[in-house]
Structure formats: C-alpha cells, structure tokens
C-alpha cells in the first residue's frame, strides 16, 4: 500500500457538469438558545429557544454541496406534503438545486430536530417513517429520465426507503455511460454491484465484510469485494484515520488532515459530493479521493450540516500542495493570493535549470532572502530546445522541477512553455523579480513590466566558475 505524495489536484470548471443525486431527503432543524437553569420537573436543562434554523440533510445535503462546488444538480427524493417538505424545497431551490421530488400524501418529511445551547448539542429528536415502495419505484423512473445528459449519478442511501432498488439506479447509469458514486448504508454491498465508485465508512464496510485487524487487511477485503461485485473502485472512509482507496490493483491510504474538529455531521455527504463531481469531471480516482479528503476536513470544522464551496476547496487544496513545491499555474495563483493576504513578500525568478549546480543554489538562496516566498519558473522542454538547441535539455522538465522543489530556499515551482516568463509575471505580479549576475538590469526579461506596477528588479552576484555549459563541456 502506498500513500500519495503527488501535487494536490484542482477541480476543473464544473459549470457544464450535471450531477443527479438520488437518495433519502431530510430536514435538519436546529433550536438554538441559552440553558441557564435545570428543570424542576426532571434533572435536565431548560433551553430558552431564541432561534430556529433549517438546513438540508441526507441526500439534500449532498445536493447542496454539489451546487456549492459549482456544478448543476438535479435532486430526486421524497417529501411529504407538509411545511418541512416545503422548507426543504425552498432552501435547495434558492441554492440553485433543481428539485424533482415525489410528494407523498399522509407521509411526513423526515425531520432531525437538534437542541443546541452554547454551541453544544443537547438533544436530537428524529421524526421519520419508511418511504413507501411505490414512491421509491417512481424515483427510479425519474432518475432514468434525467441521466441522459448527466456526467455522474450520486446515490445517497440512508436506508430510509428511497433507495429501495439501487441496482436499478446503477443499471440506468451504466446504460447511459454515466459514472455512479454510491454512499451506502447497511444493505449488502452486492446491492450496489456495478457502481463506478463505492464510498462506505469503516463501520458500514465492517458490517458487510467483517472485522479487520489493520489497514492492509481492510484493503485486501476491499479488493476482493471490488472483484466480486464489479465495483470500479472503493473509498473506505475512517474519520480521523483517513481514507483507504482501492482502484483496480492499486491501493492507497490517505491520512486525515489535521484540523480542529467542530462537528462531524454531514462530512460524509460532503465527501460523496466531491467524489461525484470529481469523477464526473474525469479525474482519476485517487485525485477524486484526495479532494474529498480535503473537503471532509473543511466540513468537520463547521457547525452542523454545512456545504463546502468550490473556491473554499480550491484554496485548501492549494495550501495542501504548497509544501510539495511543484504547482500548476492555477494552483500557484491561489497560493500567491493567500500569501499576499498574509502580508508576505513574493520573489520570482526563472530559468532552464538543466543541471543544477552550486551557482544555482547560492543564487536561489540569495533570492529567497529578498522576501517571504520564492517562485521559480522553469522553461518547458520545448522552450529549452528552442533557446539552447536540439540537444537540450539534458534533464526532462519533471526532473528539473523535482530537484528545485527539494531546495529549502524554494517555495513554489511552476513551468512555462513560452520563450519568456512574461505571461506568468503579468499574472502573479511578484514584488521582486530576480536574475543571476550574468545579466545586466536592462537585459532582464520582464523588468519593465515589474517596474510598471512598482515592483523591484534585482540582479544578484554571480558565482564564478559555475555554469551548466561549462559542466557539459568538461563532460564532453
């Protein structure tokens, strides 16, 4: 088993991605108030309710997260013809979710009522009854009608009856070539056979596969289940112990991000939503899981059922990547924005860095001393060949970037395919532009641009007898 160490991915634009969510709908209602005395009738606190708050729960929370991430979302589920059902619809439609509900006569919308005081949940009351079988069958028909233009089907099964026939839903998705992500409960996992990605938590997995002594045993059992039931992949979530991903013959374990846990309510819904939209957008399973892991850590830092937005996830994913050094231009844009917000001074330099030598190391250490963050922009292989000739570079781009990222003086490494880094300078507008001592200031590409917005241009001292060309000549 391996732990992934590649750069954290970013979600692509989800504007044109359509996700269909099917599952058990709930209204999470919170009564907030102060508890200043004990009841004379029983040894319980008396809460003076001062605020009532409604939030979508269950599959409705999955849908809210999908919409918050920036995708189009159609939600299918069951509500009663009651005030709670109307409230749930109103909240979701205000968030941009398309609600295609089955409204059931003489059946109450599932309600979870929580009493909260001083940010502490004192009591939860559940008002629920099973979804009638006929309504569940109607949901399958509705799903089939919506899947023709959907990128992903997300099934949120809370075992309340809305997902009475998960096999029919998965079959409908497979028939249209739609990816399917399933968040199961306690049905036999064979019920979800053929799903693209299954996301049980550790307890749900153990109920289906038996207890396991360690993560390796869990991974082995997950591999066996994937083969037996033709799951494309499986992600087993384990709260503070992270997430184990089985993808074909490959198994990975992602440790949980270290955050202050405020409330775990709804974190699984957030993870399911991110897994769904990321898989629908075509990201590899491991990248989907890594983003879901970050999103879940954001959800548990919030109170109650809460959605994670696209920009919020993008920033957290970029911050997760900054220690690794190598970033895409989009990731770097977010990292630079966060750095600027923290009042940090950003330094920029660029070059081919084909064979890293002592002169480079000294120059980069000097550059880092001019600010709080150092960006090193590296010419792509094609760009190097155009500038240096067809026999260069000696080392491919990925290796050059990896070596630079390993230097303690370098914060972020990014590549560019143009002959000059001016597009990056225009985009990131560093506080300081630095080049080595073999340049005069007027020869520094981008100097006028940086000076135009008030930035500095520095030419650093050259280390004698150090150059890539000289090293290659001696080798020849």
Catalytic residue numbers read: 269
Do strands 179-183 and 197-198 pair parallel, antiparallel, or not at all (unpaired)? parallel
Phi, psi (deg, nearest 5) at residue 352:
-85, -40
In the block, tokens 């597009």 appear at 423
DSSP line for 35-89: EEEE-SSSSSEEEEEEEEEEEEEEHHHHHHHHHHHT-EEEEEEEEESSHHHHHHH
Encoding tokens for residue 109?
A: 């919308």
DSSP string, 225-267: HHHHHT-SEEEEE-GGG-EEEEETTEEEEEPPP----S--TTH
Across the chain, how many H-helices and E-strands are there? 16, 18
The answer to whether the Cα torsion of 465, 468, 470, 476 is positive or negative is: positive
CB count within 10 Å of CB 147 equals: 24
User: What are the helix (H) ranges across 265-379?
Assistant: 267-280, 285-299, 310-321, 329-341, 358-368
Taking the C-alpha atoms of residue 20 and residue 160, their distance in angstroms, rounded to an integer, is: 19
| 66: nearest Cα among 156, 187, 195 | 156
d(CA 370, CA 255): 35
Residue with tokens 């075992």: 159
Enumerate residues 6+ apart whose C-beta is below 8 A from 232. 195, 196, 197, 226, 247, 285
Cα 365 to Cα 211: distance, rounded to the nearest angstrom: 52
């Amino acid at each position: 088993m391996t732990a992934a160490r590649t750069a954290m991915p970013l979600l692509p634009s989800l504007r044109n991605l359509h996700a269909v969510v099917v599952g058990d709908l709930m209204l999470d209602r919170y009564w907030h108030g102060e508890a200043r005395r004990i009841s004379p009738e029983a040894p319980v606190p008396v809460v003076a309710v001062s605020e009532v708050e409604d939030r979508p729960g269950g599959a409705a929370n999955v849908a809210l997260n999908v919409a918050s991430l920036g995708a189009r979302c159609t939600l299918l589920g069951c509500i009663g013809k009651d005030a709670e059902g109307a409230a749930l619809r109103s909240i979701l439609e205000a968030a941009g979710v398309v609600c295609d509900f089955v409204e059931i006569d003489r059946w109450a919308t599932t309600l979870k009522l929580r009493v909260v005081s001083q940010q502490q949940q004192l009591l939860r009351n559940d008002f629920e009854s099973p979804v009638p079988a006929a309504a569940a069958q109607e949901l399958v028909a509705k799903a089939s009608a919506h899947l023709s233009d959907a990128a992903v089907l997300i099934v949120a099964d809370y075992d309340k009856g809305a997902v009475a026939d998960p096999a029919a839903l998965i079959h409908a998705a497979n028939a249209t070539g739609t990816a399917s992500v399933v968040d199961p409960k306690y049905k036999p996992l064979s019920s979800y056979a053929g799903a693209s990605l299954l996301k049980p938590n550790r307890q749900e997995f153990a109920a289906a596969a038996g207890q396991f002594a360690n993560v390796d045993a869990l991974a082995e059992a997950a591999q066996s289940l994937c083969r037996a039931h033709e799951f494309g992949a499986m992600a087993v979530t384990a709260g503070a112990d992270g997430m184990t991903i089985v993808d074909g013959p490959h198994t990975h374990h992602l440790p949980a991000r270290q955050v202050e846990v405020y409330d775990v309510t709804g974190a699984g819904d957030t993870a399911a939503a991110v897994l769904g939209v990321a898989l629908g957008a075509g990201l590899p399973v491991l990248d989907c899981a890594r983003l879901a892991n970050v999103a879940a850590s954001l959800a548990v830092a919030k109170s109650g059922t809460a959605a994670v937005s696209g920009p919020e996830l993008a920033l957290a994913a970029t911050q997760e990547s900054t220690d690794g050094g190598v970033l895409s231009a989009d990731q770097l844009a977010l990292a630079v924005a966060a750095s600027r917000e923290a009042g940090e001074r950003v330094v920029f330099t660029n070059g081919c860095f084909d064979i890293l030598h002592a002169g480079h190391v000294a120059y980069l250490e000097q550059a880092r001393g001019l600010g709080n963050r150092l960006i090193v922009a590296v010419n792509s292989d094609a760009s190097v060949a155009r500038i240096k000739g067809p026999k260069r570079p000696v080392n491919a781009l990925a290796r050059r970037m990896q070596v630079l990222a390993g230097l303690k003086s370098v914060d972020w490494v990014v590549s560019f395919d143009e002959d000059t880094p001016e597009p990056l300078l225009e985009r990131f507008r560093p506080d300081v532009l630095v080049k080595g001592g073999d340049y005069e200031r007027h020869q520094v590409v981008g100097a006028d641009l940086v000076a135009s917005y008030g930035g500095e241009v520095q030419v650093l001292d050259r280390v004698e007898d150090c150059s890539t060309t000289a090293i290659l000549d001696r080798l020849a």
